[in-house]
Amino acid sequence: MTHFWRTHSQNATLEEMMLDTHAQELTEQELPEILSMLPSLDGCRILELGAGIGRYTRHLLTRAKHVTAVDFMDNFVERNKQENGHHSNGTFLQADVTKLEMPQNSIDFIFSNWLLMYLSDEELQRLTEKMLGWLRPGGFLFFRESCNHRSGERSHFPNV
């Protein structure tokens, strides 16, 4: 999967990350709705999985105590740092979420957008078990996937 993303996302743009030439319009349409669904994030420690170039990171950083933004593409992480590194409450981590380790009961809110569809059933089950362990009692897990069709216009790998 890394090869695919390195080939199609060399410039770490919104359009490349979303594999869609209409990415900006889509973001403008969906961002307010998604943010309106989130609980209060005041004082929260957030783990953002599949953060990409920071499309949601910037909004999470202004609402939370701390955000750890994780993506497996180093150029996405660098772009996210460039765009959002001026916030003192953010950590930007290049890592494969399926291999990520976090302390138990250390996270108040886990946010994931268009990530889980790229994982195999086994990877998803293991990650879900880990996420539930990372959450503090009363914490929230928010994930959003493309239900209508895969993101983007390019033909790429099938669902695993």
Tell me the domain boundaries of the chain: 2-144
pLDDT reported for residue 56: 94
**Model confidence at 159: pLDDT above 50:** no
Average pLDDT value over all residues in the chain: 84
Give CATH superfamily name and number for 2-144.
Vaccinia Virus protein VP39 (3.40.50.150)
pLDDT average, residue stretch 21-37? 78
User: Would the pTM of this model clear 0.85, i.e. be above it?
Assistant: no
Q: Show the 3-state SS of the chain.
A: CHHHHHHHCCCCCHHHHHCCCCHHHHHHHHHHHHHHCCCCCCCCEEEEECCCCCCCHHHHHCCCCEEEEEECCHHHHHHHHHHHCCCCCEEEEECCCCCCCCCCCCEEEEEEECCHHHCCHHHHHHHHHHHHHHEEEEEEEEEECCCCCCCCCCCCCCCC
List, for residues 56-65, the tens digit of each pLDDT value.
999 999 999 9
